[in-house]
Structure 1
Amino acid sequence: MNKSWFIFFLVGWGLIFVFGPLSWQSVQAQNAQFTQFQQALIQTNPALIGMSNQIQVQFNYRRQFIASGASFETPMASLIYPWIKQQNKRVAAFGLSFMQDRTGEGGLLSTTGGLLTGAYNLYIGGQATRRYQPIVSLGLQAGFFQRRVNPDVLTSGSQWNGQTFEQALGLGESYLTSELFNASRGFPLFNAGVAVSWTDLCGFPKAYLGFSIQNINQPNVAFFLRIPPCRFSLV
């Protein structure tokens, strides 16, 4: 069983490094991030979930103001379940998370979805009894999200009467037609990560270093033609 999981993660990472560079861009993607990234492991790096012996239930919330009456609001709930075998050895871990990201006054833009995460651990030099055991974790992640614009809170210059916006008036924007604009879009998402940790004899990590790639498939998440770049994180 362990060999099958190893082959699965090895093939997954192989595909990433073969096809991933074909679409990487040197610009930044705008993924939801939390200040305490170590408390949002699934969102930070899928490999990090393989570093703990405990079952974890995490609740995260972010509210970041960007303008008068407008802010980012991001609630997220996650479950992490480690697979532990013989003598406290962490073979792998599995995670499930749900998140909603709301942006703009009145929830103008919202993104809702979930992620399935898996991480497989490789013990360097076998499961030794030395003080600090190096472990390499390989993580893969897949999910589906729905992004939606709330047309009820959109305004345009055509609704301005000199003092205020009149919602009863039409937007008067030709590009907001059904042929050019779709108020809702669903898309799959694939991420990957790798992490190296040094654990004590009890299995608790004392230090770690990780790297992740998100938006590997670069889905079209915009309501007009636009492809998001890959996002990289180093922790």
Structure 2
Amino acid sequence: MKKLLIFSFIGILFLTGLTVSAQFSRPISIGAGAGGTINLTDLGNVESKFAFYGELDYLITPYISVGLHGEKGTLAGNGYDSDFKNRYFAGNINGKLRLGHFLDNTNNYSYYTLEANTLSRILSNIYVGAGAGLVKNRINRHISEFYANYLASNGGELADKLGEIHFVVPLNVGVDIPFGRTLYGPQWAINVNYQHTLTFNDNLDGIKNKNNDQYGFVSLGVKYALFNRK
């Protein structure tokens, strides 16, 4: 059911954007950036670690996009004289909906992007998004005998597979801060994003207990728009 809702959300974004798709002349952008991870796992003492990403977005309208996102980083935590480190890979397909879609500026985007003030342009590019993807674990762990016994007596266990691939749902909130004004819209943007990733397999830390693991990724990046529509 959750997978159906995610793909339905992306489909609605696509269909909604068809009516105004001709207004934007730079439909494809590439981006890259880096930041820090925050894990919500069974070993609750978080050690924030580094991650970086690359992405490709297709703008259906100036304010609705679908894209591909690739990510590599590290998750780490400790507690109960135990610790883990997961050097993971992740990838997803996602959709984003920006605030500008609900403002009165999509009918003539070329005029808007030349005339709007800086604050309006930033507010228009605040977005929320969701997607579906996969995470590939590479877990190293050191589990104390005390904690292993505690898990066994409370319905938990140590995971057998430390390198498995499993399904995830990333949720995003952020802003693209455009700079450079042309008739075709801004060609560059600074991106600030928080991605919260939900898993459906309690194994980001090599420990399976009562609740599925999650992690957050706070990032700063840059985007560059490619091509012009003819």
Higher relative contact order (CA 8 A, sep 6+): 2
TM-score by length of 1: 0.44
Which structure: greater strand fraction? 2
TM-score by length of 2: 0.45
